[in-house]
Amino acid sequence: MQSVEIAGKASVAFSIVVETDLGSPALVAAREALLGRAMGRNWKKKSSQKLRRGRRPSEGLAFVARDETGMLLGTVRLWDVALGDGVVGDGRPALLLGPLAVDPSLKNAGIGKALMAHALAEAKRLGHGAILLVGDAPYYARFGFSAEKTGMLSMPGPYERDRFLALELLEGALDGACGVLKASGRKAKAPRLAQAA
């Protein structure tokens, strides 16, 4: 358990655990509600969703922050993608991060940072070479993300180029990377998993 201080409230204890109940209706509903509260109703329209829809997160790389009662406080997931299609880009593997979200009532207390630190460490431990995401550069810069290596890569849909960021976990993993990102993760079997993204 870790704990964070929330202004005007007692400290909140939480733990970060890997999602083992990916398709459970209770978790799906809690995640959807949290993402709606944190990101607004349109979060499913983002280009990143094209790479997540109908897929399962990368093995061992979907995390939740829960309080002592089991209530969901935050979520982050990483997804398997290929960089390019073999014609433009060599199709090398990478991870796509997102959504990352924390319950708005606990904003800026350190839960997002803890989720990110945990997710990056696990991705590295599992041998992944690079992580991409579309998000706020000033936030993700603190974890080492930048647009430096995404210039020749693109998302399969509209996105803001200066928000398309990457982090190498292995030096040189994105050298020469180009092409459009493609979903390469395991397919979700049950319909409810497809919606769980």
Ligand X SMILES: CC(C)(COP(=O)(O)OP(=O)(O)OC[C@H]1O[C@@H](n2cnc3c(N)ncnc32)[C@H](O)[C@@H]1OP(=O)(O)O)[C@@H](O)C(=O)NCCC(=O)NCCS
Residue ranges that bind ligand X, judged by CB under 6 A: 38-39, 100-102, 107-113, 135-136, 138-139
Quick one: 97 exposed, middle or buried, by C-beta within 10 A (0-12, 13-18, 19+)? buried
Per DSSP, which regions of 19-143 are E strands? 62-67, 72-83, 92-97, 101-102, 130-134
Q: Which amino acid is at 151?
A: G
Measured from the CB atom, the residue of 89 and 134 that comes closer to ligand X is: 134
Minimum distance, C-beta of residue 112 to ligand X, in the bound complex (Å): 2
Minimum distance, C-beta of residue 73 to ligand X, in the bound complex (Å): 9
Minimum distance, C-beta of residue 173 to ligand X, in the bound complex (Å): 22
What is the C-alpha separation between 27 and 13, in angstroms, rounded?
A: 20
On whether the CB atoms of residues 77 and 61 are closer than 8 A, the answer is: yes
CA 106 to each of CA 45, 117, 154: distance values in angstroms, whole numbers, following the listed order: 25, 17, 33
**Gap between the terminal Cα atoms of the chain:** 26
Minimum distance, C-beta of residue 1 to ligand X, in the bound complex (Å): 16
**What residue number has its CB nearest to ligand X?**
112
Measured from the CB atom, the residue of 159 and 192 that comes closer to ligand X is: 159
Minimum distance, C-beta of residue 172 to ligand X, in the bound complex (Å): 26
Can you tell me which residue has the tokens 């998000």? 135
Measured from the CB atom, the residue of 101 and 131 that comes closer to ligand X is: 101
Measured from the CB atom, the residue of 73 and 179 that comes closer to ligand X is: 73
Q: Which amino acid is at 52?
A: R
Measured from the CB atom, the residue of 143 and 178 that comes closer to ligand X is: 143
